[in-house]
Amino acid sequence: MSRVTIGLLGCGTVGRGFVELVERERARICARHGVDLHIKKILVRDETKERAGVDRRLLTTAALDVLDDGCDVIVELIGGVHSAGAFIRRAIANKRSVVTANKALLAASGSELFASADAHGVTIGFEASVCGAIPIVRVLQHGLAGDQIDAIRGVVNGTCNYVLSRMEEGTTFADALRCAQERGFAEADATLDVDGEDAAQKMRILASLAFDAPIVQERVVGIRWITQQHIERARAGGNVIRLVASVERVASGVALRVEPCELDANDPLANVKDENNAVIVRGRAAGEIVLCGKGAGALPTASAVLSDVIAVSCI
Amino acid sequence: MSRVTIGLLGCGTVGRGFVELVERERARICARHGVDLHIKKILVRDETKERAGVDRRLLTTAALDVLDDGCDVIVELIGGVHSAGAFIRRAIANKRSVVTANKALLAASGSELFASADAHGVTIGFEASVCGAIPIVRVLQHGLAGDQIDAIRGVVNGTCNYVLSRMEEGTTFADALRCAQERGFAEADATLDVDGEDAAQKMRILASLAFDAPIVQERVVGIRWITQQHIERARAGGNVIRLVASVERVASGVALRVEPCELDANDPLANVKDENNAVIVRGRAAGEIVLCGKGAGALPTASAVLSDVIAVSCI
């Protein structure tokens, strides 16, 4: 049994879910994986805020209190690229493995961070950065390692899918988006979601795992222009509209596309409802593998973070 | 770059698929995973048989030629429990990691073999033993490691699903089964398939990965008694019949069930057609994760074997 200490950066929705899950699963993880996980310090912006289930004595507002405290693993859940990037760089320089759910940072600086982690002999776990609870990162890294991946296609933005699902019931775009925000799927500023950029970031991460080739074509269209008329016209033909994101091999590299598509009822992506996500991986030998599940939410995302913490602790 | 030699036991459908895939993917695997895979010896029953794409000079009919040749990894694709078990025990005693697709052997002797592998410091990869190309073993071992699994439910026998899919089109049970045999999904003796025992073996393997608890209830019913009338009656209610296999936590351990069920169209398992497989994992935090894909076939199964070979070579 090895004791593993965790420094947690950020204690928002996913951070609190992670704290809850570590407590709940500790005994099972000890027994099954031989690691005894303990959260040692938690970086927050405001120490005085009420956080149910979180031990106040662990909180600090000073990042270095967490980063330089000798924790075995640093879990970054603050989001954004600037502070998060600086903290992760310092953790790597300190030779600590890092687990992050930060897709924006990986999309912006992934190759630099992975190279630095390699050079320092540590690992970056990032399962939670793409599609919440769906273990798509691990499936691409390991589960389908024996096969050449030809294409990946999916519904990977829960906010857009929730909005489109509500519009199918007659709700307007604006009302559906507000509802997504109230239910906590969409950020207060949902621009990255509805413009397709969030989906594009996720596909860039998946492409880097699946293909040893650069992205040479990009077309990213969001759902802002979709009206009730588009939805009705699709429905009249027995179809539905989904924001479909894809990456596929082309002659000179990889083509990335994010755009609303009309899908017939037999398409596995047509049946993805509300805030769920689905990813279809097409392997040359394996054929199509479909993975569906919760693409967001505190506990589903925290479960992906925790799986990564176990993986980096067991290396 | 490390050179990894493979001793292959068996060169039937999946074995030939594996030989083909190793050749085709060698350069990509070198570049991506840093291992240079070479098949050094292949055990066959008949050296004179024509096998397209297989180098005759690698063939031998003497198991010890393969097992005691110093290969880094032994890949067992002969099936059955007696010889296969003896060969795997010898490979482990020789401190060689093993990759196998043999669910019958693991169902019969899994705990003994895994304990022996542990004691000898080697690994047994068995992704291909359950659901062909679907990386369900790895997802349970690692991808969902952070979560408590409450239940697993799936369509895990391609032969039964193919037969039920054909019966929906009016084919009789006997004709549908013959057709599955001609197309190579079903064994000449399909008893284990149609009686539900194959599905039960797969669920026992998944239960051992998901739960730290014994199976205390078992109910295994096959599809032999399903008639056109059952199919019609289900269809009249908008439903379909599938052979549903499940394991779930109960008070004293785990309950295993395999039986034909009438499913409504919204059930993800209702949409699994032909020889495809699907598995739904319900995690306490992650919610439901659905995985679908090809549950059998030479190249899909070989891709799972090869992913395991890469994994055991990279440890």
Gap from B57 CA to chain A (nearest CA, Å): 25
- Residue B231's nearest CA partner among B277, B153, B163, B180 is B163
Which residues are CB-neighbours of B83 under 8 A, at least 6 positions away?
A: B63
The candidate with the shortest Cα–Cα distance to B287, out of B139, B144, B136, B142, is: B144
pLDDT at position B228 over 90 = yes
| Interface residue B155 vs chain A (CB under 8 A) | no
Q: How far is CA A111 from CA A118, A220, A252, B220, in A?
A: 10, 22, 20, 50
Strands A2-9 and A35-43: parallel
Percent of chain B with pLDDT over 70: 100
Beta bridge partners of B72: none
CB contact, 8 Å: A232 with chain B?
A: no
Residue closest to B288 by CA, chosen among B260, B246, B256, B239 = B246
Say if residue B229 is exposed, middle or buried (CB neighbours under 10 Å; 0-12, 13-18, 19+).
exposed
Sheet holding A287-294, edge to edge: A215-220, A253-264, A239-250, A149-155, A276-283, A287-294, B287-294, B276-283, B149-155, B239-250, B253-264, B215-220
Chain A residues close to B291, C-beta within 8 Å: 289-291
DSSP A268-295: GGGG--TTEEEEEEEETTTEEEEEEEE-
Radius of gyration from C-alpha coordinates of chain A: 20
What is the reported pLDDT for A212?
85
Across the interface, of A24, A300, A305, the residue whose CB is closest to B287 is A300
Answer for the pair B5, B38: CB distance below 8 angstroms, yes or no. Answer: yes
**Domains within chain A, CATH numbers bracketed:** 2-132+298-313 (3.40.50.720), 137-294 (3.30.360.10)
Average pLDDT, integer, range B107-127? 95
Measured over the CA atoms of residue B42, residue B44, residue B48 and residue B52, the dihedral's sign is: negative
Nearest residue of chain A to residue B133 (CA atoms): A286
Find where tokens 């050296």 sit: B47
What is the amino acid identity at position B252? S
Q: What is the pLDDT of residues B132-174, one digit of tens each?
A: 999 999 999 999 999 999 999 999 999 999 999 999 999 999 9
Please, which residues 201-230 of chain B have a Cβ atom closer than 8 Å to chain A? Answer: 212
Identify whether the C-beta of residue B244 lies closer than 8 Å to the C-beta of residue B259. Answer: yes
Q: Give the DSSP letter of residue A260.
A: E
Residues 6+ apart with CB under 8 A from A270: A239, A240, A242, A263, A264
**Residue A144: which residues within 8 A CB-CB, separation 6 or more?**
A281, A283, A286, A289, B135, B303, B307
pLDDT recorded at residue A276: 95
Question: Measured between CB atoms, does A88 come within 8 Å of chain B?
Answer: no
The one catalytic residue among B41, B95, B103, B202: B202
Cα distance from A128 to chain B (closest Cα, Å)? 11
- Say yes or no for a CB contact (<8 Å) between A300 and B310: no
- How far is A262 from B54, CA to CA, in rounded Å? 45
Q: Is B273 a catalytic residue?
A: no
- What ipTM is given for this predicted complex? 0.94
For residue A282, the cross-strand partners are: A151, A288
Q: What is the mean pLDDT of residues B203-227?
A: 95
Minimal Cβ distance to B293: which of A32, A290, A305: A290
Query: When comparing pLDDT for B68 and A185, which is higher?
Result: B68
- For chain B, say whether A154 makes contact (Cβ under 8 Å): no
Distances (CA, A) of A195 to A6, A159, A220: 35, 11, 8
Q: What are phi and psi of A155, to 5 degrees?
A: -105, 105
Q: Which parts of chain A have pLDDT scores under 50?
A: none
Q: What is the pLDDT of residues B253-306, one digit of tens each?
A: 999 999 999 999 889 999 999 989 999 999 999 999 999 999 988 999 999 999
- How far apart CA B89 and CA B116 sit, in angstroms, is 8
The pLDDT value recorded for residue B133 is: 94
The structure tokens listed for A310 are 């176990």
Sorted by sequence, the CB contacts under 8 Å of residue A173 that are 6+ apart come out as: A163, A167, A223, A224, A226, A227
Count of beta carbons in the 10 Å neighbourhood of residue A212: 10
Question: Bridge partners of B168?
Answer: none
Cα A263 to Cα A153, A234, A260, B225, distances in angstroms: 13, 8, 9, 38
User: pLDDT averaged over chain B?
Assistant: 95
Say what the pLDDT of residue A118 is. Answer: 96
Look up the pTM and report it. 0.95
3-state secondary structure chain B: CEEEEEEEECCCHHHHHHHHHHHHHHHHHHHHHCEEEEEEEEECCCCCCCCCCCCHHHEECCHHHHHCCCCCEEEECCCCCHHHHHHHHHHHHCCCEEEECCHHHHHHHHHHHHHHHHHCCCCEECHHHCCCCCCHHHHHHHHCCCCCEEEEEEECCHHHHHHHHHHHCCCCHHHHHHHHHHCCCCCCCCHHHHCCHHHHHHHHHHHHHHCCCCEEEEEECCCCCCCHHHHHHHHHCCEEEEEEEEEEEECCEEEEEEEEEEEECCCHHHHCCCCEEEEEEEECCCEEEEEEEECCCHHHHHHHHHHHHHHHHHC
- Chain B hits for A310, CB-CB cut-off 8 Å, are 142, 145-146
Record: contact B145-A288, CB cut-off 8 A: no
Six-digit token pair at B236?
């009249």
**Contact status of B133 with chain A (Cβ, < 8 Å):** yes
B139, B288, B302 ranked by CB distance to A143: nearest? B139
Contact of A1 with A35, CB cutoff 8 Å: yes
Chain B CA closest to residue A266: B271
Residue B45 has pLDDT above 90, yes or no: yes
Q: A213: closest CA among A152, A175, A255, A260?
A: A255
